[in-house]
Amino acid sequence: MSPDASSFLPETQAIHSGRGIDPATGALTPPIYLSTTFERGEDGTYPSGYIYGRSGNPNRNALAAALATLEQGTAAAVFGSGSAATFTLLQALTPRDHVIAPRNVYFGVQEMLAKIFAPWGLLYTLVDTTDLAALAAALRSNTRLILIETPSNPQLAITDIGAVATLAHQAGAYLACDNTIPSPVLQTPLSLGADVVIHATTKYLAGHSDVIGGAVVTKTANPLFDQLRLIQTMGGAIPSPFDCWLTLRGLQTLPLRVRAQSQTALTLAQWLAQHPAVERVLYPGLPEHDGHGIAQQQMQGYGGLLSILVKGDQDAALAVTTRTQLFTRATSFGGPHSTIEHRASIEAPGSETPANLLRLSVGLEHVEDLIADLDRALGGKNEK
């Protein structure tokens, strides 16, 4: 019999939640259930609890159970990507509903809102969610959802989850928090007042840059989550059984990976803050960061993602990326290898990301090797 993983600490939850001994073989690692359909009982019921792959699968249910436990929620829905998770959450609203989202929210979400949901009839306002007065002023009688991302991507702004939850609930709205960057190891928004949590499981949860996925975890049963589940079942925005299996496998090392990456990122941020070629470091673990005080209160570590503003223009920033050896020029983050990306050149026109910003995803390499790599790249030194 599997233990109740919710009573354990994150390291133990990551190993045991959503997992059990296979009753047929005694295997510790769960099998991959590729079947799209399941046998009905003689009376027409479904004794196994499964009907069809679009509505449920053992691997998907196991991953959902694990994520709900780690995020201290009651249920989760897992998707084929993080974008699909956010898309379905927004689709669970109705035309003329009003959404508030951060001005510097992930550019893909801005594109969704502007190009898909606004023509469909959803109303939205982009505000600085770190400014509670501005957020309160943006509330309307038809505001149904406030979406926050903390830390934000790629500028690492910090939003006060508890304070925004209070504003949302006073207005009769839900609060959704994208928790991709810190992961539930470093931050649990549901315990701070959020109603739902969003993840791109592609990043830290799966952790190896080899599977795309997303998730929405709910604190309690509510109409918004019920509608989201209905849309997912009807529309089929689901991950494959193998993708779920890979993500569940990645969860087992999540606490160890995230804490190691977070510690290395802090060391790098402190070193970069003193580098003559760096104008500014954006990392909530630094005391000079605008959101440092709030981050100290609501996080248990500051994450493995940071951004730097290189002294100079876009060309100067891009040149740095051509000189790194360990930091690979690539999009996404959260894997075991370190990556570097010039964000403004990949984002949509009108992006507020500075032209001289580079986003660094810190992997699991030794910190001294990463420092040496960045020092060479920032100094423009030739390889010996």
257-315 tens-digit pLDDT: 999 999 999 999 999 999 999 999 999 999 999 999 999 999 999 999 999 999 999 99
299 and 223 within one domain: no
Residue 351 confidence (pLDDT)? 82
The number of domains in the chain is: 2
pTM given for the model: 0.95
369 and 240 within one domain: no
214 and 142 within one domain: yes
314-327 tens-digit pLDDT: 999 999 999 999 99
Q: Which of 251, 278, 313 is the last residue of a domain?
A: 251
In a domain, 261, yes or no: yes
Residue 147 confidence (pLDDT)? 98
- CB of 328 within 8 A of CB of 338? yes
Could you give the angle at which helices 367-379 and 254-272 cross, rounded to 10 degrees? Answer: 40
In a domain, 285, yes or no: yes
Residue 367 confidence (pLDDT)? 98
Residue 20 confidence (pLDDT)? 87
Q: Which residues are catalytic?
A: 54, 106, 178, 203
Question: Which of the two residues, 111 and 6, has the higher pLDDT score?
Answer: 111
- Indicate which CATH number applies to the domain containing 322: 3.90.1150.10
114-173 tens-digit pLDDT: 999 999 999 999 999 999 999 999 999 999 999 999 999 999 999 999 999 999 999 999
238 and 209 within one domain: yes
Q: Which of 211, 231, 251 is the last residue of a domain?
A: 251
How much is the average pLDDT of 214-237?
Answer: 97
Task: List residues bridging with 100 in a β-sheet.
Answer: 125, 146
Residue 216 DSSP SS3: strand
Residue 383 confidence (pLDDT)? 45
273 and 246 within one domain: no
Residue 384 confidence (pLDDT)? 37
Residue 5 confidence (pLDDT)? 79
* CA dist., res. 319 & res. 126, Å (int): 32
Give the residue from 149, 148, 92 showing the smallest Cα distance to 122. Answer: 92
- In this structure, what is the dihedral angle of CA atoms 102, 104, 109, 111, given to the nearest 10 degrees? 120
56-60, 363-367, 377-381: lowest mean pLDDT where? 377-381
Q: Which of 211, 230, 251 is the last residue of a domain?
A: 251
216 and 297 within one domain: no
* CA dist., res. 384 & res. 378, Å (int): 16
| Chain mean pLDDT for the chain | 95
Tokens 């549901």: give the residue.
190
Mode of pairing for the β-strands spanning 143-149 and 123-127:
unpaired
327 and 227 within one domain: no
Residue 84 confidence (pLDDT)? 98
Determine the structural domain holding residue 260 and report its residue range: 254-379
- Indicate which CATH number applies to the domain containing 182: 3.40.640.10
Residue 382 confidence (pLDDT)? 44
Residue 380 confidence (pLDDT)? 60
For the sheet with 196-199, list strands across it: 75-79, 214-218, 196-199, 174-178, 143-149, 98-102, 123-127
23-27, 182-186, 274-278: lowest mean pLDDT where? 23-27
307 and 164 within one domain: no
In a domain, 122, yes or no: yes
In a domain, 363, yes or no: yes
339 and 222 within one domain: no
> Is a pLDDT exceeding 90 seen at residue 347?
no
90-115 tens-digit pLDDT: 999 999 999 999 998 888 999 999 99
282 and 230 within one domain: no
Residue 7 confidence (pLDDT)? 85
275 and 220 within one domain: no
In a domain, 384, yes or no: no
